[in-house]
Amino acid sequence: MAKVIKAEAYLADIEVETVRTDAAQAFLKQETLFVELTADDGLTGTGYSYTIGTGGRAVLSMLREHLLPTLVGHDSREVEAAWRKMYDSTRATMVGPITALGLAAVDLALWDLRCLRADEPLWRVAGGHRPAVPVYDTERGWLQLDEAELAAGALEAREQGFSGVKIKIGRPTAGEDAARIRTVREAVGPGLEIMVDANQVFTPAEAVRRAARLEPYDVSWFEEPLPADDVAGHERLAASTAVPVAVGESVYSLAHFREYLQRGAAGIVQPDVSRIGGITPWLKVAHLAEAFGAEVCPHFLMEIHVSLAAAVPNGRFVEYIPQLRAVTTRQLRITDGLAQAPAEPGLGIAWDRDAIDDRRVA
């Protein structure tokens, strides 16, 4: 058998590697939720999820008091049944971030067990489309950086083989935002993808106005221009511009993604495996997007998303934001502009247990 006989959760704070600000917030620290599931066949799977500074203890409480107790005695091979069992046990708090983040940590641990048991890497067990995915850099595009710093960072990213760079916008005037993108495009020329991210700060009318200012610079996508619950506003924006609209990092359910795609409100989806509730629903989002002809460019968490983007045929990009180097012993490998999915069995993340223990706070 493969029944879960032990289920544990704990919280570790991982310091940010660099200053990261956008138009809505600052990345204060990574509150990282870890889940370890041990089965009666002797295998242990490790999963994780995160916040960027608040709510970690609430998720930990959800895990310890509600989610993990439902898993003890469950056959760990039955991942879909486990996810549904946990979801149903917390129906009063779904759909929302606290429950989704808890579900994700458990679901990743179950998938880790599945892959370890199969002696295969995640990218192959989850679909096996290709072993490597193009990667773009976000770390050189934060809002606090000025135009000269953005241009220098983009040139450096191109020299290092990145396929593109993401630039944060949301400055007080449309002219300032346009100048940021114009400066980068003039520095790198036509060969590098430029993604633009507003982190949900615009009104529908202002998003339409700023999209028009971005079009001359061949922007690859306009990310989170509006609050994530404003599907109608995104629909209006998408119909008004040639710049693809990208959403997903702040979407917490498959049905919400379906609404975006059905209404033509997004051309690119960016599911975050933690915020959508784990690998099980992440793959459903990816396959749903494929049916609508949309590409998947997941948000953050490059260490796990490289394997998921490699698993599906519409996985277009991995986002480069290094955040786990302090607690891992093996880093993301990038070769000729492609992020390589780990070939090791399991999720492919080499955790440094001592380093994690040093950062445990609960």
Token output for 124? 């192959």
Per-residue pLDDT reduced to its tens digit, 246-260: 999 999 999 999 999
296 lies in a domain? Answer: yes
**Whole-number pLDDT of residue 283:** 98
What is the overall mean pLDDT for the chain? 96
Calculate mean pLDDT across residues 147-152.
Answer: 98
Distance of alpha carbon 139 from alpha carbon 17, whole angstroms: 10
- What is the pTM (predicted TM-score) of this model? 0.97
254 lies in a domain? Answer: yes
For the domain that residue 91 is a member of, what is the CATH number?
3.30.390.10
Tell whether 63 and 133 lie within a shared domain: no
- Active site residues per annotation: 168, 299
Per-residue pLDDT reduced to its tens digit, 84-118: 999 999 888 877 899 999 999 999 999 999 999 99
Calculate mean pLDDT across residues 5-25.
Answer: 93
Q: Which residues pair with 137 in a beta bridge?
A: 165, 320
Tell whether 138 and 267 lie within a shared domain: yes
Tell whether 168 and 231 lie within a shared domain: yes
For the domain that residue 152 is a member of, what is the CATH number?
3.20.20.120
Give the alpha-carbon dihedral of 70, 73, 77, 81, to 10 degrees: -40
Q: Which residues pair with 285 in a beta bridge?
A: none
Token output for 286? 């990816």
345 lies in a domain? Answer: no
Per-residue pLDDT reduced to its tens digit, 27-58: 888 999 999 999 999 999 999 999 998 999 99
Distance of alpha carbon 253 from alpha carbon 114, whole angstroms: 23
Tell whether 28 and 51 lie within a shared domain: yes
Report whether pLDDT(288) > 90: yes
Tell whether 310 and 257 lie within a shared domain: yes
Calculate mean pLDDT across residues 189-210.
Answer: 97
Tell whether 138 and 164 lie within a shared domain: yes
- DSSP-assigned states of every residue in 46-115: EEEEEESSS-HHHHHHHIIIIIHHHHTTSBTT-HHHHHHHHHHHTGGG-SSHHHHHHHHHHHHHHHHHHH
Report the 10 Å Cβ neighbour count for 29. Answer: 17
**Whole-number pLDDT of residue 308:** 98
Domains in the chain: how many in total? 2
Question: CA 174, 170, 136, 103 torsion: positive or negative?
Answer: negative
Residue 223 contacts residue 247 (beta carbons within 8 Å): yes
Tell whether 130 and 115 lie within a shared domain: no
Percentage of the chain with pLDDT > 70?
100
Q: Residue 288: left (phi > 0), alpha (psi -120 to 50), or beta?
A: alpha
The tally of CA atoms less than 13 A away on the side-chain side of residue 81 is 8
Calculate mean pLDDT across residues 144-158.
Answer: 97
3-state secondary structure of 214: helix
Tell whether 190 and 92 lie within a shared domain: no
**Whole-number pLDDT of residue 303:** 98
Tell whether 73 and 169 lie within a shared domain: no
Distance of alpha carbon 284 from alpha carbon 251, whole angstroms: 14
Domain around 191: 124-340
347 lies in a domain? Answer: no
Q: Which residues pair with 214 in a beta bridge?
A: none
321 lies in a domain? Answer: yes
Tell whether 323 and 279 lie within a shared domain: yes
3-state secondary structure of 179: helix
Tell whether 47 and 191 lie within a shared domain: no
Tell me whether the omega of the peptide bond preceding residue 95 falls within 30 degrees of 0, making it cis.
Answer: yes
59 lies in a domain? Answer: yes
> Residue 46 to residues 115, 208, 224: CA-CA distances in angstroms?
11, 43, 31
346 lies in a domain? Answer: no
- Residue 115's nearest CA partner among 171, 11, 24, 45 is 45
Tell whether 204 and 327 lie within a shared domain: yes
24 vs 184, residue with greater confidence: 184
3-state secondary structure of 30: strand
55 lies in a domain? Answer: yes
